Amino acid sequence: MSRFEPSRRGFLAGMGALGAGVALGGCATATTPSGGAAQKGGAVTLQSDLSSPLAEKAMKSLVAAYNKQSTYTVKLNTVAATTYQPLLPTYLTSANPPDIYTWYAGSDANHYSARGLLLDVSKVWSSLGNYPTALKTLSTDASGKQIFVPTDYYWWGVFYRKSQFKKWGLSEPTTWAEFLKVCQTIKAKGVIPIGLGAGTGTAWVASAWFDYFDIRINGAEYHRGLLAGQHKFTDPQVVKVFDAWKQVLPYFDPNGTAVSWQEASNQLLQGETGMLLTGTFFADAVPAGSLDDLDFFKFPVLDPSVPDVEEAPTDGLFASSHTGNSAAVMDFMSWMTTPTAQNMWTQTSSGTVIPANPQATSPATPLVQKGKAMLAAAADLTQFFNRDSTDALQNTADTALVDFIQNPGRLDSILSTWQSQAEKVWNS
Amino acid sequence: MSVASTQAHPAGAATAGGLGVRGSRGPRRDRRFKPFGPSPLLIAFVVVPLLIESVAVFWPAIQGVYISLTHWNGVNPPTFAGLDNYRRMFDDPVFRKALENTAIWLVLFGTVSAAGGLGCAMFLQRERRGIAVYRAALFLPVVFSLTATALMWQTLYQPRGLANGLLSAIGLGSWQHAWLADPRTALYAQILPALWREIGYVMVLYLAGLKGIDPALHEAAKVDGASAWQQFRNVTLPQLRSVNAVVLSVIVIDSLRSFDVVWSLTQGGPYNSSQLLSTYMYQTAFVNTDFGYGCALAVVIFVLAFGVIVSYLIRAFKETD
């Protein structure tokens, strides 16, 4: 359920204005039935950006299952992920907005909530006593009310092939020194140690490295503050991040900024690269047989005094405060938090996500169990660069990080450019 | 017409060409000189498109200009900012790079596609057996969606793609490149797919223009002893003036709105090195949701396109007067 799904490349390029118009027309007509006061029954619209075939199918069957057992009707309106993101503000501010939206928790949701655009869903949360506190904090806005209902989350890790590691006589590294040694060994075997895939439209994957270095060296608080504009990208703390990165840069795929992320995951599967730092969504495209050979380890610890923080992007739903039928919205959202609904979701989708409700059954694969345990042990969870900030700031990161990977010697000027570009984003 | 007899029997060719011209132009002329007064139907034909145009084109365009004078993130109500967004361009290095790239694109894409299109048209204008196959082959890329085209070229440009494979096969392995990831080659590597498409389109425009030239002019020039170059320089080119205006407009508009290829291949990267005004505008408005600055960039693109075309048209009309 990543906002940056592989399907991102399949967008209707160039049709910005046209696409906007068409999609807007679609949503305007789709919302007409939602007008009218809160009553028992009635229809609401669910605006979904889960447009990859697998996810769309899973969402369709979920909505069908809900409609079967409810007096309310939910209408699913799936919009291509790349069109959805720029249009979300337009949806929310339109006179007759769609009611419910798939989106992610964190900075973006708070931003809309601060402008009074999101429905207070604290009522849904009153029945979610069993949800982890971390998820509740994540779903709470600055004024203290809940505005988001998480449905599932996933994790990031350094993925590798078990058979390859066995062949090379390697075990999972936990410290930075061990990690560097693993890199050396793989390189000595004539294989590229670390794949990247920050080319052609997927430059954002490079920020996973930035995020992890920053939370391992400077901690989650500093990281969030940095992305919020409280610190500077030219700070010595940030320079330290890049100093660590420089140590592994020689082990990166020299074509890392040329090949796309999809290509990079293929390289890992074909044994052309040894390791890949990625989110579990990459398992969507893995042939069923190869999944068993895959394993991951936690991003190595650089400073033992910094508590372990992991990236755990959380997906879910929020709703428009201008909905005409908040009873139906709440009812659907509550239903989506039930183990029944969440089991349906994890079974029909790729099966590498963890349901938000602890009572729901996570997929029993060793991979998911290991991921769940890693997140449970973490001191704090971050989302991802763009989720903890904005897509606009993500752009500045893409520019800076790809530049750094190609020209590590120009770090100073890259960081000062990054800072000035980021300031424009923060001040706009 | 299937025999290569155009030169040997100019009279025959003239008849054929003449027929062609009459066939395509006749009906239009008839309509223009219909002697009726403005019937309700005629008024409807004018008013309805005007209304649609106003709602769908003029109004959003005016609104775009207004938004360019505001700060607007799509969520808060826009706040009036005067010329702030335009002033911001002056110290925006990405804007400067995008402007520079757009200029390079305009010049390279423009000259090569005009010259290439005219060249192909000259080469393929004579009716020979199977010539239609060649014309169709050159025109075929126009049919593909540019996004699909871009995906195809992306595979060619992959570090282990066909382009690099070809280079190493002919012994130029050292020229191998990550074409789209290297800021020195990214822009030029993307002009190629755009050209691949545009040349076929321009060729068709010029083919139509060449068909419209009265063969008697060439015949007369030849009788006067003009060389092939002189015929081209003094007969063909001046006769193509009206087509040139169309081609120029098409090229300028197409290069300023060149977006699909770049957005699909690099999204303006690596680190903004292949950013065009169009991609920068899209990124600013629809990714960064900074609609004020995005609209200001759109206005600049509009002014540039409009300026180039209008100045050309004015000059062209002056010459005909």
Q: A401: distance to nearest CA of chain B, Å?
A: 8
Q: Which long-range contacts (CB under 8 A, 24 or more apart) does B23-28 make?
A: none
With respect to residue A363, please indicate whether it lies within any of the assigned structural domains. Answer: no
Tell me which of B59, B75, B176 to substitute to probe the interface with A (most A C-beta atoms closer than 10 Å).
Answer: B75
Alpha-carbon gap, residue A24 to A91, rounded angstroms: 8
Examine the pLDDT at B23 and tell me if it is beyond 50: no
Q: Are residues A144 and A173 in the same domain?
A: no
Shortest Cα distance from B274 to chain A (angstroms)? 12
For domain B93-289, which CATH number applies: 3.40.50.1000, 3.40.50.1820, 3.40.50.970, 1.10.3720.10?
1.10.3720.10
At B255, is the pLDDT very low, low, confident or very high (cuts 50, 70, 90)?
A: confident
Clarify whether residues A80 and A130 are in a common domain: yes
Q: What is the pLDDT of residue A72?
A: 93
Whole domain around residue A125: which residue ranges? 6-150+315-358
Q: Out of A20-24, A416-420, B33-37, B246-250, pick the least confident.
A: A20-24
- Which residues 192-211 on chain A approach chain B with CB closer than 8 angstroms? 199-201, 203
| Amino acid found at A321 | S
pLDDT digits 0-9 by tens, B92-131: 899 999 999 999 999 999 999 999 999 999 888 888 888 8
The answer on A290 and A223 residing in a single domain is: yes
Helix H or strand E segment including A371 = helix A366-377
Q: A373 lies in a domain?
A: no
Neighbours of A32 (CB within 10 A): 10
The rounded distance, in Å, linking the Cα atoms of A106 and B60 is: 33
Angle, to 10 degrees, between the axis of helix A176-188 and the axis of helix A236-248? Answer: 30
Contact B146 A93 (CB under 8 A): no
Q: What are the sequence ranges of the domains in chain B? A: 93-289
d(CA B308, CA A351): 55
Q: What pLDDT sits at residue B321?
A: 63
Is the pLDDT at B21 greater than 70? The verdict is no
Please check whether residue A406 is in contact with residue A388, taking contact to mean a CB–CB distance below 8 angstroms. Answer: no
Looking at chain A, which residue has its C-alpha nearest residue B180? A258
A328 Cβ contact list (under 8 Å, min separation 6): A38, A41, A42, A43, A44, A72, A74, A99
Both A267 and A394 in one domain: the answer is: yes
The predicted structure's pLDDT at residue A9? 33
Residue A367 within a domain: no
Query: If DSSP codes are grouped into helix, strand and coil, which group holds residue A294?
Result: strand
- pTM metric for this prediction: 0.79
Residue in chain A lying closest to B298 (CA): A17
Q: How many CA atoms lie within 13 A of A49 on its CB side?
A: 26
pLDDT for A40 equals 62
Give the nearest partner residue to A16 out of B60, B158, B282, using CB atoms.
B282
Work out the pLDDT band at B35, boundaries 50, 70, 90: low
pLDDT at position B36 is 60
Per-residue pLDDT of chain A (428 residues), as tens digits, is 444 443 333 333 333 333 333 333 333 333 333 334 444 678 999 999 887 777 788 889 999 999 999 999 999 999 987 788 878 888 988 888 999 999 988 888 888 898 889 999 999 998 888 888 888 888 998 888 999 999 988 999 999 999 999 999 999 999 999 999 999 999 999 999 999 988 877 889 999 999 999 999 999 999 999 999 999 999 999 999 999 999 999 999 998 998 888 889 889 999 999 999 999 888 777 777 788 888 999 999 999 999 999 999 999 999 999 998 999 999 999 999 999 898 888 877 666 788 888 888 877 788 888 998 998 888 888 999 988 998 889 989 999 999 999 999 999 999 999 999 999 888 87
Whole-number pLDDT of residue B149: 85
Distance from CA of B178 to the nearest CA of A (A): 6
The answer to whether residues A165 and A128 belong to one domain is no
- DSSP code of residue B178: -
**CATH number of residue A304's parent domain:** 3.40.190.10
Same domain, A166 and A238: yes
Which of B259, B287, B293 faces A391 most closely, judged by CB atoms?
A: B287
Q: What is the pLDDT of residue B32?
A: 52
